[in-house]
Chains A and B, each alone.
Chain A
Amino acid sequence: MSDVADIIIIGSGASGAAAAWSLSQDKSSRIVCFEQGSISNSSDYPTNSTDWELSRFDKSSFDPNIRKNLADYPIDDSESPISIANFNGYGGSTILYSAHFPRFHPSDFRVKTLDNIAEDWPLNYSQLNPYFDENEKMMGVAGLVGDTSYPEYKSLLPPVPLGDMGQEMAKAFNKMNWHWWPSYAAINTDKRKNRANCINLGPCNIGCSQGAKGSVDVTYWPLARLNGVEVYTESRVYEITLDSKGLSDGVLYIDKNGNDCKCKAKIVILACSGIGTPRLLLNSKSSAFPNGLLNDNGLVGKNLMLHPLAYVEGVFRKDLKSSIGPHGCCILSQEFYETRPEHDFLRGYTMQILRGVPPIETATSGYFMRQLSIGKSHHKDFEKLFNHSAGIAIISEDLPEEHNRVELDFENTDSFGMPGVKVYYEMNDNTKKILKHGIKMSKEIFSTAGAKVTASFAPVKNTGWHLMGTARMGEDPKTSVVNKYGQAHQVKNLFIVDSSVFVTSGAVNPVATAQAITLFACNHIRKNISSVSNPL
């Protein structure tokens, strides 16, 4: 079976969806997207049921090795202190993300120039700025303009409410004279674009049955499909093929009926995440690229960055109804984001204030952190914890190092026999110092807020959502895989638009920046469609 398209997009997640919408503004092209997972139906999301919290332990787990959907591939992360988290399906990991949506900072693109570490990016904040704006409009991002830790934002939806706990934490930050700001959240705080507004339920990260959370299945995709983009779900691409001139001529994939198929195209766009993208490239071997596509410099899969996280939990005396409201989005502080001479580390971190955890997690973590007993005192202990707690997640800048990498795992294959992934990752000393500092400062802020610290640790195991750096961009083909437009140095009609291309990690959630880069790249493709399609 064979088919012909103009543009193929592999992956329907955050970047694939943004690419589809952007490119589909030129309606003369036939654009086809292949997605290995299926479409989630919001009426089936666990939040429609009272026992929703149980779903985190099986079908809505963000660990593919627990979830084990047909679309999931094995990820062996036993050689990493951080487990990989993702979702393979229409909308990608945005289905399960918490919708935190801060941008990278201007300094994030210039770490070599400013701090003499890692590499500068081949583009800068100013170049991305219009695409940040455009993306925030498309995704529906709530927040407040005027943040002193960023250049000016143009406009945002009304911020997600702080709630009583957020107010207490804000007062504490003010007492310390530290920066804080309401979270940037891809959450509809007003009814918008035929989507309902957020009703402050809490568990955004098992799928939002309201459709208030800006996952791309409800933001970019409806518009891209109206523009004619075709999406083939449950269709697993296992190889990107090349023609005799060394250009990509399409992909090989298994369709939903198990048929082995080929789809030809003039342009191929990869958007499979910092793990899925190198997996597919490494699996696409040919005489021109015997070690995997674009891997002649050995960089595909290398420089994996995961944003190691520290976590500190505080418990207040008062009932602050802290479990009410979008769990991940309340306040962020970027007081310690930038390099400071008095620190023993370079770069920095974001402190993300998280709302209180739901009942099962309160009981379980409370017991294992020795804050809650079994037997007679159980309920009294529970009452002191539930709705009284808050968390601080410290997101550290992660620096690129070649030994942190993903490789194909031929011993563990997916349901179609394609190799899984083996992750090798170690935290470096700079990151460890950042996390240590973040824990210390979080304890200070909780103490100022009058909360008792009940837990603090780093790194947090199950937090490997932010998958970056494994096919990085740069000007020099010897030290990078793609250029600033995501265009492969070695195969000019092949583009990578997900966070694989990140040169450094920043210290914020990457999705806003990944999508801005996607829009920047796709704008370039649209403007240069004929030369990009026929680069020789």
Chain B
Amino acid sequence: MIKIVLDTLIPGDIKLKMPSASILDFNTYKIKHGIQQIVIDFLFELTKISNNQFSRDFNELDEDQRMKVLNVCKLKNIRLFSLFLKHVFRAYYSDKRVLSILKVGSSPPFPDGNVIEEDDWTILLPVYERGSIYRVLDED
């Protein structure tokens, strides 16, 4: 079920070449960050809502129905929903495969870092020409 939940929250996007969150090894993430209970509670909540709303398990719903269940879950238990979603974002946007597609610049280990073009400091002329703006004290 977790794979379908992840895929509903962050599906893949072929045009942007972004993978679905279902590629994550969420089990390892879950154990590493000690969120087993949060995951259990969240999946239990989704199962309950999907059965109440559609008389079927979450796995058996189509995409629109799954989104509806997620939205109901958000309204019913915003704290649990937010906590779970934060962890999905954290797992997804720290995944090497995802970061390699995004323009995050140089990634560790760092051979060179990121190059930023040198600035043309004549851009400061208007500031300079305005003159000093700090308060001058007699003692200084």
Q: Across the interface, which residues of B come within 8 angstroms of A363, CB to CB?
A: 89, 92-93
Q: Across the interface, which residues of B come within 8 angstroms of A383, CB to CB?
A: 16
Please state if B133 and A334 are interface contacts (CB–CB under 8 Å).
yes
- Number of chain B residues whose Cβ lies closer than 8 Å to a Cβ of chain A: 56
0/1 per residue, A32-49, Cβ < 8 Å to B? 000000000000000111
Q: Across the interface, which residues of A come within 8 angstroms of B103, CB to CB?
A: 319, 321, 386-387
C-alpha gap A53/B139 in the complex (Å): 48
C-alpha gap A170/B114 in the complex (Å): 21
**Chain A facing B: main interface SS:** loop
User: Is A370 an interface residue when CB atoms closer than 8 A count as contact?
Assistant: no
Please state if B93 and A53 are interface contacts (CB–CB under 8 Å).
yes
> Which chain B residues numbered 68 to 120 have a C-beta less than 8 Å away from chain A?
70, 82, 85-86, 89-90, 92-96, 98-99, 102-110, 112-119
C-alpha gap A181/B67 in the complex (Å): 47
User: Is A415 an interface residue when CB atoms closer than 8 A count as contact?
Assistant: no
Please state if B128 and A179 are interface contacts (CB–CB under 8 Å).
no
Q: Across the interface, which residues of B come within 8 angstroms of A198, CB to CB?
A: 113
Using CB atoms, name the residue of chain A closest to B93.
Answer: A359
Please state if A106 and B136 are interface contacts (CB–CB under 8 Å).
yes
Given A105-B134, A378-B11; A50-B107 close (CB under 8 Å):
yes
Using CB atoms, name the residue of chain A closest to B136.
Answer: A106
- Further 16 A-B residue pairs, CB within 8 A, beyond A107-B134, A174-B126, A199-B106: A48-B109, A50-B94, A114-B137, A161-B118, A166-B119, A170-B123, A171-B123, A177-B130, A179-B127, A199-B112, A321-B105, A338-B133, A374-B9, A376-B63, A378-B10, A379-B13
User: Is A180 an interface residue when CB atoms closer than 8 A count as contact?
Assistant: yes
Chain B proximity of A512: nearest CB distance (Å)? 16
Please state if A106 and B137 are interface contacts (CB–CB under 8 Å).
yes
0/1 per residue, A143-180, Cβ < 8 Å to B? 01010111100000001011100110011011001011
Chain A proximity of B88: nearest CB distance (Å)? 9
C-alpha gap A358/B106 in the complex (Å): 13
Please state if B133 and A148 are interface contacts (CB–CB under 8 Å).
yes
Given A47-B108, A50-B94, A199-B106; A364-B86 close (CB under 8 Å):
yes
User: Is A323 an interface residue when CB atoms closer than 8 A count as contact?
Assistant: yes
Chain A proximity of B6: nearest CB distance (Å)? 11
Given A378-B11, A379-B13; A161-B119 close (CB under 8 Å):
yes
Please state if B16 and A202 are interface contacts (CB–CB under 8 Å).
no
Using CB atoms, name the residue of chain A closest to B70.
Answer: A374
User: Is A77 an interface residue when CB atoms closer than 8 A count as contact?
Assistant: no
Given A126-B139, A367-B89; A181-B133 close (CB under 8 Å):
no
C-alpha gap A387/B134 in the complex (Å): 34
Please state if B102 and A359 are interface contacts (CB–CB under 8 Å).
yes
Please state if A149 and B134 are interface contacts (CB–CB under 8 Å).
yes
User: Is A360 an interface residue when CB atoms closer than 8 A count as contact?
Assistant: yes
> Which chain B residues numbered 1 to 52 have a C-beta less than 8 Å away from chain A?
8-11, 13, 16, 18, 33
User: Is A527 an interface residue when CB atoms closer than 8 A count as contact?
Assistant: no
Q: Across the interface, which residues of B come within 8 angstroms of A209, CB to CB?
A: 110
User: Is A409 an interface residue when CB atoms closer than 8 A count as contact?
Assistant: no
Please state if A161 and B134 are interface contacts (CB–CB under 8 Å).
no
Please state if B90 and A105 are interface contacts (CB–CB under 8 Å).
no
Q: Across the interface, which residues of A come within 8 angstroms of B89, CB to CB?
A: 360, 363-364, 367
Using CB atoms, name the residue of chain B closest to A113.
Answer: B137
Please state if B134 and A150 are interface contacts (CB–CB under 8 Å).
yes
User: Is A288 an interface residue when CB atoms closer than 8 A count as contact?
Assistant: no
- Name the residue in B104, B117, B121 with the highest tally of chain A Cβ atoms < 10 Å from its Cβ: B104
Q: Across the interface, which residues of B come within 8 angstroms of A324, CB to CB?
A: 105, 114, 116
A–B pairs, 29, beta carbons within 8 Å: A50-B94, A52-B108, A106-B134, A110-B139, A144-B121, A148-B128, A149-B134, A161-B116, A161-B119, A163-B117, A170-B123, A171-B123, A177-B130, A179-B130, A199-B114, A200-B105, A210-B113, A319-B103, A324-B105, A337-B134, A359-B94, A360-B90, A360-B94, A364-B90, A368-B82, A374-B9, A379-B10, A379-B13, A383-B16
Chain B proximity of A448: nearest CB distance (Å)? 14
C-alpha gap A260/B95 in the complex (Å): 46
Using CB atoms, name the residue of chain A closest to B90.
Answer: A360
C-alpha gap A170/B127 in the complex (Å): 10
Please state if B116 and A148 are interface contacts (CB–CB under 8 Å).
no
Q: Across the interface, which residues of A come within 8 angstroms of B8, CB to CB?
A: 374-375
Please state if B93 and A144 are interface contacts (CB–CB under 8 Å).
no
Using CB atoms, name the residue of chain B closest to A161.
Answer: B116
Using CB atoms, name the residue of chain B closest to A45.
Answer: B108
C-alpha gap A170/B126 in the complex (Å): 11
User: Is A51 an interface residue when CB atoms closer than 8 A count as contact?
Assistant: yes
C-alpha gap A201/B140 in the complex (Å): 40
Given A57-B90, A149-B132; A167-B119 close (CB under 8 Å):
yes
Using CB atoms, name the residue of chain B closest to A163.
Answer: B116
C-alpha gap A465/B43 in the complex (Å): 38
Given A162-B119, A179-B133, A378-B10; A54-B140 close (CB under 8 Å):
no
User: Is A335 an interface residue when CB atoms closer than 8 A count as contact?
Assistant: yes
Given A53-B93, A374-B85; A386-B102 close (CB under 8 Å):
yes
Please state if A124 and B114 are interface contacts (CB–CB under 8 Å).
no
